[in-house]
């Protein structure tokens, strides 16, 4: 069961101990169930796909498969067996990397009962990395996403550098942080950033224009669940921080035009989050 915590956004939330060990067989059984529930798709080119598995298989063309007795098509079961063999012979994290986005959070939600807190935290991070921390209500609801964070050891969910940033943020004297968000409704945005240039960069990457509307808001630092280090690629490449938070706890939300957040013609160099590195070419890669 999930760790009982009244608040998920307190410094102690990242120090939740592991209270159970991982039952790998039961977790694999859940993964296999997702494979059994979907039928394999066969295309005329010989391409075979499984709706729950991020991998393509090339078999005989459909014209050859159709020559087999109706209803048998052993290739379908062969593909399912290949996937199940992979699940049984590889680490759980490898299976998480292969599940499709439509299944990954459902499988993880069911498997959390049989995962240690630390293992769940690492696998939850893998799932969010798969969607690049871009919240999508068609993949997982906001309420479900925030509920899964309650089951995390946040220190295991974040990298060592991110955990350090989170601790430094909590030690700062100010009680609130100004955050920004673009191209999505503020009430549904679980991930925000403290860097206004990152908002314009991401919106450009997603096809928005600088006349589009983004959001600016305030959040109490105690309500910031996690800090994630991001990377933005526009005319320049720079790193920035993303804050995972409950949007219901945002204050003073106001719409802002993206072109007002950042003047790209005359950028203020001091506003960039340049890391302290010696080799800039290596950092840019």
Closest among 22, 82, 16, 15 to 50, alpha carbons compared: 82
Helix axes 142-149, 101-111, angle to 10 degrees: 40
The pLDDT score that the predictor gives to residue 74 is 76
Neighbours of 184 (CB within 10 A): 19
Q: Are 276 and 257 in contact (CB under 8 A)?
A: no
Strand-by-strand arrangement of the 251-257 sheet? 224-233, 237-245, 191-193, 176-182, 213-220, 251-257
The pLDDT score that the predictor gives to residue 34 is 92
Closest among 172, 133, 213, 235 to 11, alpha carbons compared: 172
Q: Are strands 237-245 and 191-193 parallel, antiparallel or unpaired?
A: antiparallel
The pLDDT score that the predictor gives to residue 125 is 92
Rounded to whole angstroms, how far apart are CA atoms 162 and 239?
Answer: 12
Beta-carbon contacts of residue 190 (< 8 Å; ≥ 6 apart): 135, 142, 145, 146, 244, 245, 246, 247
HEC secondary structure over 90-151: CCHHHHHHHECHHHHHHHHHHHHHHCCHHHHHHHHHHHHHHCCCCCCCCCCCHHHHHHHHCC
Lookup result for tokens 């079961």: 77
CA 228 to chain centre: 10
DSSP annotation of 186: G
- Look up the pTM and report it: 0.75
The pLDDT score that the predictor gives to residue 277 is 45
The pLDDT score that the predictor gives to residue 259 is 67
Joined together, the tokens standing for residue 121 give 């935290």
Residues of the chain scoring pLDDT < 50: 1-18, 203-210, 233-238, 264-285
Going through 141-223 in order, the beta strands assigned E by DSSP cover 176-182, 191-193, 213-220
What are the φ and ψ backbone dihedral angles of 172, each rounded to 5 degrees?
Answer: -65, 145
Q: Are 55 and 98 in contact (CB under 8 A)?
A: yes
Beta-carbon contacts of residue 261 (< 8 Å; ≥ 6 apart): 180, 196, 197, 199, 200, 214, 216
């Amino acid at each position: 069961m999930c760790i009982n915590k009244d608040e998920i956004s307190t410094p102690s939330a990242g120090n939740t101990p592991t209270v159970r060990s991982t039952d790998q067989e039961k977790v694999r059984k859940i993964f296999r169930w997702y494979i059994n529930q979907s039928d394999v798709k066969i295309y005329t080119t010989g391409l075979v796909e499984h709706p729950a598995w991020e991998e393509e298989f090339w078999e005989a063309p459909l014209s050859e498969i159709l020559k087999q007795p109706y209803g048998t098509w052993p290739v379908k079961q062969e593909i399912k067996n290949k996937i199940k063999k992979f699940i049984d012979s590889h680490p759980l994290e490898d299976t998480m990397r292969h599940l499709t986005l439509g299944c990954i959070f459902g499988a993880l939600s069911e498997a959390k009962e049989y995962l240690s807190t630390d293992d769940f935290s690492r696998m939850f991070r893998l799932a969010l990395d798969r969607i690049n921390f871009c919240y999508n209500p068609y993949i997982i609801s906001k309420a479900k996403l925030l509920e899964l964070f309650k089951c995390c050891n946040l220190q295991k969910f974040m990298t060592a550098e991110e955990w350090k940033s989170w601790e430094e943020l909590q030690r700062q004297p100010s009680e609130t942080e100004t955050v920004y968000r673009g191209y999505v409704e503020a009430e549904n945005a679980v991930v925000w950033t403290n860097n206004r240039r990152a908002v314009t960069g991401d919106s450009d990457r997603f096809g928005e224009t600088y006349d589009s509307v983004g959001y600016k808001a305030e959040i109490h630092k105690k309500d910031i669940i996690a800090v994630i280090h991001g990377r933005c690629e526009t005319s320049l490449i720079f790193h920035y921080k993303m804050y995972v938070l409950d949007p219901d706890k945002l204050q003073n939300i106001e719409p802002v035009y993206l072109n007002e957040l950042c003047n790209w013609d005359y950028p203020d160099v001091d506003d960039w989050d340049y890391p302290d590195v010696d080799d800039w070419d290596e950092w840019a890669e």
